[in-house]
């Protein structure tokens, strides 16, 4: 939320919204936002709590988002990219770019292995577990999204490590103006 730094009146899309955790956090924000969540799983969306008036969720595939070019000021994708196949990541990142207006912001959150420090070992162990048992633990796969974001045309504006809960890398990227 700190990296996103949402502003009054912004249109925000949360991709891979799941049970709506990001939407829940956005709804606590005092700004008057307009947020939409999409997920390919209707079962996950059924667990999204009541949202502020005008907010909505819908079933959609991140590989082909049902929104026009530049429809959003900001897009979030929390713990989505690492559950995709490596071959799907470029197409999804391209869709995240497409639906952002020029100058719009993207925040991604992915499990990651810290570059140094005592938690590096833990991050590596979780990543190995995810790769050995993808069906049960695939969501813990470490993924640095920066190369894919830059390749799609995003500019990386900031990165933040979250070492509470999942070891995660939060990336703020911009669609060039």
Positions that interact with ligand SAM (CB under 6 A): 16-18, 21-22, 39-41, 44, 61-63, 78-80, 83-84, 139
Q: How far is the CB of 16 from ligand SAM (least distance, A)?
A: 3
**Closer by beta carbon to ligand SAM, 93 or else 113:** 93
**Closer by beta carbon to ligand SAM, 47 or else 155:** 47
3-state secondary structure of 55: coil
The contacts of residue 93 (CB under 8 Å, 6+ apart) are 81, 145, 148, 149, 151, 152, 154
Q: How far is the CB of 137 from ligand SAM (least distance, A)?
A: 11
Name the closest residue to ligand SAM (Cβ). Answer: 18
Helix (H) or strand (E) holding 105: strand 100-111
**Closer by beta carbon to ligand SAM, 109 or else 149:** 109
Residue 158 has what DSSP assignment?
A: E
**Closer by beta carbon to ligand SAM, 8 or else 50:** 50
Interatomic CA distance for residues 116 and 11, integer angstroms: 37
Apex 135 CA angle, 150 and 121, nearest 5? 65
CB 143 within 8 A of CB 111: yes
Q: How far is the CB of 20 from ligand SAM (least distance, A)?
A: 8
Q: How far is the CB of 131 from ligand SAM (least distance, A)?
A: 16
**Closer by beta carbon to ligand SAM, 8 or else 86:** 86
Q: How far is the CB of 147 from ligand SAM (least distance, A)?
A: 20
Tell which residue, 23, 25, 35, has the closest CA to residue 1.
Answer: 25
């Amino acid at each position: 939320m700190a990296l996103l730094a949402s502003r009054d009146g912004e249109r925000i899309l949360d991709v891979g919204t799941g049970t709506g955790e990001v939407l829940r956090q956005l709804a606590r924000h005092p700004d008057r936002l307009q947020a939409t969540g999409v997920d390919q799983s209707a079962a996950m969306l059924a667990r999204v709590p009541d949202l502020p008036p005008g907010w909505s969720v819908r079933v959609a595939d991140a590989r082909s988002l049902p929104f026009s070019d530049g429809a959003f000021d900001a897009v979030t994708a929390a713990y989505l990219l690492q559950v995709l196949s490596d071959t799907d990541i470029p197409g999804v990142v391209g869709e995240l770019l497409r639906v952002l207006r020029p100058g719009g912001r993207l925040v991604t959150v992915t499990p990651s292995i810290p570059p140094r420090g005592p938690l590096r070992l833990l991050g590596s162990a979780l990543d190995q577990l995810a790769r050995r048992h993808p069906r049960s633990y695939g969501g813990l796969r470490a993924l640095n999204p920066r190369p894919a974001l830059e390749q799609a045309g995003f500019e990386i504006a900031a990165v933040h490590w979250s070492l509470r809960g999942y070891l995660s890398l939060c990336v703020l990227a911009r669609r060039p103006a």
